[in-house]
Amino acid sequence: MKAILYTKSIPRYLAMRYLGKKWGSLYTSPLSSVRLVEMKEPQLPTQQWVKIKIRLSGICGSDLSTITAKGSPYFSPFTSTPFVLGHEIVGDIVGMGDEVEGMSIGDRIVVEPALSCRVREIDPPCNQCQNNRFSNCENITNGSISAGVQTGYCRDTGGGWSQYVLAHQTQIHHVPDGISDELAVLLEPFACSLHGVLQAAVNTKKDICVIGGGTIGLLTVAALRMIGYENRIIIFAKHPHQQKLSEHLGADVVISASRGRYDAFCELTDAEPFQPELGQQVLLGGVDVTFDCVGSSTSIDDALRFTQAGGEVILLGMPGIPKHIDWTSIWYKQLHVKGAYTYGLESYQNEMIHTFQLGLRFLQQHGESLLPLVGEPFTLQDYRRAIQTALNTGLTSSVKTVFDLREEK
């Protein structure tokens, strides 16, 4: 089968990390750690697994971080190379083990990527999995498959950037007929945003700020509106197409992520700015909750400054190793800073429900508004252009770049 394979190489990693900043074409050059290959189709690890033929698979910021070597090395012990990238997956079941229940050949499904104890068939499960925090599994290097925090980072499961991928039966969620492939491929990132939104008691808050107009930032705005948040949403979005989509999804005020952002923010919120001897302005006042959907040094520092005393900062964007952040805001303003990683079991309107299932419910009810986020589809053979499109959103006006394998033979 055809697949986009990531191979570990220290020289290639260093070349991408330090030379790619100047020559972005290196990320898809022969020096890159990713390449299109022909490889054997993956084999079921146990009889509780299914084989999936890919329809669509998205390109996530974490995939790009892997390719460009810009991310933190934090997760490197929890991968097994070589691996096929891609964890935003919609496809059809084309094979299954004898112990799989509740599924049939031909079912259209999405994959929940977390490779937890139940996926690894470890019993008894770890403390995190016992408490339904499957994304924080403590056995991600053990069990019936190789190390990997998610599908797309484990050599045994395969990934979405290929013709076929494997998933444990507990990772499978059926896609209702009313949800298109293009909408279904957004479920995984939408679940991440929805999980972050549900970390804060947002419906009691007056003003909310979202930093970042990429996929996660835009889906955070959408998730806020879908759960019924009716007050003001302020979003910082860099590019014109992101600003337009922000308004389309329900943001009340869109601020350009430029040098004048502090003045614009203070005018909107009545926060009072003060200039310290060094560094960025310090604000008294601000919003109740800020969602950082970028994960950069600048965005995290801004989030801490834009949030009023006693407020909440939710870190949704995948950080690298941020520098030059003044943490005094957390201490002085007694901020509540919380990470929001992937998905889990949510408490929503007196119901305990998995993020993916709640996400599917919202997509059935309101999903059509999200379709403009899905851009031009690419074949695997055109992977270089797909990756460069996703990397250069300002030039390409892309949000969610996807691989379309529906015609692949």
Report pLDDT digits (tens) over 172-231. 999 999 999 999 999 999 999 999 999 998 888 889 999 999 999 999 999 999 999 999
Q: How many CA atoms within 13 Å lie on the side-chain side of 212?
A: 28
User: Position 287: which residue type?
Assistant: V
Check: CB of residue 113 under 8 Å from CB of residue 72: no
- Kindly indicate the confidence band of residue 98, based on its pLDDT and cuts at 50, 70 and 90: very high
**What whole-number distance in Å separates Cα of residue 363 and Cα of residue 167?**
23
Give the pLDDT confidence score for residue 368 in this predicted structure.
Answer: 93
What letters, b where the CB count within 10 A reaches 16 and e where it falls short, cover 60-93?
bbbbbbbbbbbbeeebeebbbbbbbbbbbbbbbb
Hey, do 2-188+357-404 and 200-339 end up sharing a CATH topology, with the first three levels equal?
no
When the pLDDT of each residue in the chain is averaged and rounded to a whole number, the result is 96
- Which tens digits make up the pLDDT trace of 390-401? 999 999 999 999
Q: For 2-188+357-404, CATH number?
A: 3.90.180.10
For the chain, give every domain's residue range: 2-188+357-404, 200-339
> How many residues are present in the chain?
409
Mean pLDDT of 99-110: 98
pLDDT above 70 as % of the chain: 100
pLDDT above 90 as % of the chain: 93
The correct CATH number of 200-339 out of 3.40.50.300, 3.40.109.10, 1.10.569.10, 3.40.50.720 is 3.40.50.720
Across-strand partners of 403? 57, 378
pLDDT at 37 over 90: yes
Check: CB of residue 349 under 8 Å from CB of residue 373: no
**What whole-number distance in Å separates Cα of residue 224 and Cα of residue 362?**
11
